[in-house]
Amino acid sequence: MEPIGWLEIIARIAQQLLPVWVALVLTFAISLRFKRRLGLYGKLFDSTIGMIGFAIVMFWVFTALFADWIVTHDALGQVSRMRNVVPGTPLPDAAGRYEYFLLGGDALARDVFSRAVMGAREVLRIAPFAAMISFMIGITLGLPAGYFAGRLDTALTFLANLVLAFPVILLFFLLVAPEIQATLIPRVMAGVLFLVPVLFVMVLLNARFFTQPAKRNLYVGLVLLFGLWAYSGLAFNADPLGFWGMSPNLLNVFVAVVFVNAPTVFRIVRGITLDIKTRDYVSAAQTRGEGPWYIMLWEILPNARGPLIVDFCLRIGYTTILLGTLGFFGLGVAPESPDWGSTINAGRRLLTVYPHPALVPALSLMSLVLGLNLLADGLREESLKD
């Protein structure tokens, strides 16, 4: 068989991505139809930049979701005589497999296209959750630091500055190493870091339903049950039902990324809290005799949501970059892993001769982060309007 040209490669990739196009069109049709009823999310569709960003982000989200249908080959499988082949090369012996390597083969004769698609899943499995946990930690510590001020604030700010003064790369080299995984450090850090979200949701509900003990007990009990179940699995790999779990490698990466991100979120939340706590509605709540946690979580936090949502988008992008950095230095990833960072690292050795194995993941990573940044910019613009 003959190698195929660029036009046919693009057409075939578009065809493979069919589920993604369908999902994207549906999302946009529904969102545009009901945009006036969807709050900030609906307003996003008034800004062109925000819409472009949202489309790119959702493209990668759907790609990660439907990855099993999209891939043309096994992301880890090697095909003989396909080493470093250029995009569009046909397989010597297809026999029931897809006939072409659409974006060529890498140094180990694996399909570059399938690896990039599976790489999206690797990244999107970690980045949003790491950003979310960082946010919960930043909020849980930043609100009281800004609200109570005083000694607590001094101590927490010193700790945050301490972590921020650490060069990120040095921290990664020290924290994400095989020797560290053998020690208790990642487990202990995970034990502390993952406990905060559970506490956060518990305090959140407790502050709200404090006056209705029956409801409060039910909600807090449910959160406690569910949270501790997930906590036991994620932090200590001791889930009795085996539903939640993280390999030591993944846990190590997760903990390191959260550890780097949380202090920045803390500083942002603290700054906003310092500003908002002087407002009249906070004084009104204080006069009503509301408890400090109710004021922090149900008066201050909802009014700080604009900048926080924007920063959340940016932070997912930054986390993606950090994960790429980790992969680039071969830290904390399985040797065969299709994640973008380590694929770029593997591809850079032959970069000047065969650029495609490194270029495809590099452009993928760039487009995802760009999409998130554009989305954040659109959200910022729209949230400033009201």
Partner 1 sequence: MLLFLLRRLGVMILTALCLTFVVFYLTNLPAKLETLAKTQAGSRMSDAEVASWLERNGYGSPMIVRYGEWLGVVPGWVREDQTGVLRGRCVDRIDETAAGERCGIAQGYWGTSTRFRAPVADVISARLGATGWLMLWVLIIMVPMALVVGVLAGMREGSRTDRSLSTFAIASTATPEYVSGVLFIALLASSTVGLSPLLVSWGWIDGPVLFQGNARSALERITFWNFTLPVMTIALYGMGYVARITRASMTEVMTQQYVRTARLKGVSFPNIVLKHALRNALIAPFTVIMLQIPWLLNGVVIVEVLFSYPGFGWTLYEAAVNNDIELLLAASVVAVVVVLVTQLISDIGYVWLNPRIRIS
Which residues form the interface with partner 1 (CB under 8 A)? 49, 158, 161-162, 165-170, 173-175, 177, 179-180, 182-183, 185, 317, 321, 324-325, 328-329, 341, 344-345, 347-348, 351-353, 355, 358-359, 362-363, 365-366, 369-370, 372-374, 377
Give whichever of 220 and 346 is closer to partner 1, judged by the CB atom: 346
Report the nearest approach of partner 1 to the CB of residue 177 (Å).
8
Amino acid residing at 188: V
Report the nearest approach of partner 1 to the CB of residue 148 (Å).
21
Give whichever of 220 and 376 is closer to partner 1, judged by the CB atom: 376
- Whether the CB-CB separation of 330 and 342 falls below 8 Å is answered with yes
Report the nearest approach of partner 1 to the CB of residue 280 (Å).
25
Report the nearest approach of partner 1 to the CB of residue 170 (Å).
6
Give whichever of 263 and 347 is closer to partner 1, judged by the CB atom: 347
| Of residues 352, 316, 365, 321, the one with CA closest to residue 116 | 365
Give whichever of 66 and 259 is closer to partner 1, judged by the CB atom: 259
Give whichever of 49 and 230 is closer to partner 1, judged by the CB atom: 49
Give whichever of 15 and 183 is closer to partner 1, judged by the CB atom: 183
Q: Annotate 92-107 with b (16+ C-beta within 10 A) or e (fewer).
A: eeeeeebebbbbbbbe
Report the nearest approach of partner 1 to the CB of residue 379 (Å).
13
Report the nearest approach of partner 1 to the CB of residue 155 (Å).
12
**Which CB contacts under 8 angstroms, 24+ apart, belong to 292-298?**
292/144, 292/147, 292/148, 293/203, 293/206, 293/207, 294/207, 294/208, 294/210, 295/147, 296/143, 296/144, 296/147, 297/143, 297/203, 297/204, 297/207, 297/208, 298/207, 298/208
Could you give the CA distance from residue 346 to residue 357 in angstroms, rounded to a whole number?
Answer: 8
